[in-house]
Amino acid sequence: MKQIFLLLSILFLTNAFGQSPQLVGNLSAQVQETSGLLFFNNCLWTQNDGDNGPYLYALNPSDGSIDRKVRLVGAKNRDWEELADDDDYVYVGDFGNNRGNRKNLVIYRVSKKELDEKDEVSVEKIRFSYPDQQDFEPSMFSTAFDCEAMVVLEDRICLFTKRWNDRKTYLYSLPKSIGEHVAEFHEAYNVNGLVTGADLSSDGRLCLSGYTFGLMYKVFVVESASPFDGQHFPADCTRSIEKDLKNTQVEAVSFDDQDELWLSAEGSNGKPAKLFTFKKDFVPLAVVSHDAEVEVHLLPEEDGQRVYAPQGNYRLSISLLAGKEVFNEQLEISSEGSLIHFSCEGVFLWKLIDAQGKLVGSGQGACLGK
């Protein structure tokens, strides 16, 4: 049977991928296990994960120092993993589930007005379960029902699971109303890593943070160029950052009010927690996905773009919407890919054709410049 891959990733401006998140500073030992990040009222709010106190901390974006500490009355920190908000409330996700055996998953809702005015605030509870979980036997670091990422969109809370078993993330959603809910499954995305945070930009673009691990941790950020609808991963999701940050385990991501990205990383092995910012001077080239018979990637390098596909001979053509062709060459793709050079502005269309003249990949992108 023909194997179909969903073509998702592809191009960035040549100089973009070489940039790294910039270290703002080491965080206080009070937030050594920072696990969520939310920009609200000119502060970056965070919290520790499991078995720590029921506190939210307001960080100063200039250096990561703690400006405020607020206790959530009526809440217990079993495994707090994420923060999100809407116009009126902050949502605290107590849904960390490394062993896959929790039956007490809850999201705490906190009034922004109270959070802004008091050092102790009351909470309301949104309880939920997964519709497809039948097995609750403990299974450390192999479960499909861990979660560390959420966003709030209109009247729904969207969850992005941390699937230890296959390195994918599943999108679920539930009402943001107080009560008990069964989450609704929507879609899977092969992120090839562990998702630890999520946020939406002011214009609705989705961002996921996480890490891969082997010999070393690599931090990744997946972003979309088109708005997230709450039910489907945008077809133009692609990695805008993938960096080795010296064994740093990034746990959270947030957009500020200028849509700049912030990342926080927990401390471990005697090293402090850290706060990073990523001030982009580029826009990813967003490629609309199409079904393709091969998986194709075009990734930036210092002296061009490298095309990856199964080894063989192909013809790659790239044209502007107005019809002007900016690239059309025969490529011999080896295990190391094939280096190409092209530049353009605006939206473009691309096609990859094999040696038999068969279309094996196509898509749309946008070269938006600095």
What CATH number does residue 79 fall under? 2.120.10
Parallel/antiparallel/unpaired status of strands 22-26 and 274-278: antiparallel
Average pLDDT of the segment spanning 149-157: 98
- Do 260 and 306 sit in the same domain of this protein? no
- Do 36 and 175 sit in the same domain of this protein? yes
What is the amino acid identity at position 57? Y
Q: For the chain, how many residues are written?
A: 370
What would the pLDDT profile of 75-115 be if each residue is shown by its tens digit? 999 999 999 999 999 999 999 999 999 999 999 999 999 99
E runs forming strands in 65-183: 66-73, 80-85, 89-94, 106-111, 120-122, 124-129, 146-153, 156-162, 169-175, 179-182
Decide if 96 is inside a domain: yes
- Do 297 and 265 sit in the same domain of this protein? no
Tokens of 247: 């064994």
- Do 59 and 96 sit in the same domain of this protein? yes
Answer whether residue 287 shows pLDDT above 50.
Answer: no
- Higher pLDDT, residue 240 or 231: 231
Q: Sign of the CA dihedral 121, 125, 126, 129? A: positive
Decide if 3 is inside a domain: no
Per-residue pLDDT, 217: 62
Decide if 336 is inside a domain: yes
pLDDT-wise least confident of 12-26, 31-45, 252-266: 12-26
Domain membership of residue 302 as a residue range: 291-367
Per-residue pLDDT, 294: 62
- Higher pLDDT, residue 118 or 9: 118
Give φ, ψ of 250 to 5 degrees.
-70, 130
Using DSSP's 3-state secondary structure scheme, residue 147 falls into strand
- Do 127 and 214 sit in the same domain of this protein? yes
Q: Which of 222, 255, 278 is the last residue of a domain?
A: 278
Decide if 14 is inside a domain: no
Answer whether residue 20 shows pLDDT above 60.
Answer: yes
Tokens of 191: 């992120």
What would the pLDDT profile of 307-327 be if each residue is shown by its tens digit? 778 889 999 988 876 678 888
Answer whether residue 32 shows pLDDT above 60.
Answer: yes
Residues 6+ apart with CB under 8 A from 79: 49, 50, 51, 94, 95, 96, 97, 98, 102
- Model confidence band, residue 216 (pLDDT cutoffs 50, 70, 90): low
- Do 271 and 299 sit in the same domain of this protein? no
Q: Which of 278, 303, 320 is the last residue of a domain?
A: 278
- Do 224 and 350 sit in the same domain of this protein? no
Report the distance separating Cα 336 and Cα 64, nearest Å.
Answer: 41
Give the total number of structural domains in the chain. 2
- Higher pLDDT, residue 369 or 214: 214
Does residue 258 contact residue 280 with C-beta atoms inside 8 Å?
Answer: no
Answer whether residue 49 shows pLDDT above 90.
Answer: yes
Answer whether residue 260 shows pLDDT above 50.
Answer: yes
- Model confidence band, residue 368 (pLDDT cutoffs 50, 70, 90): very low
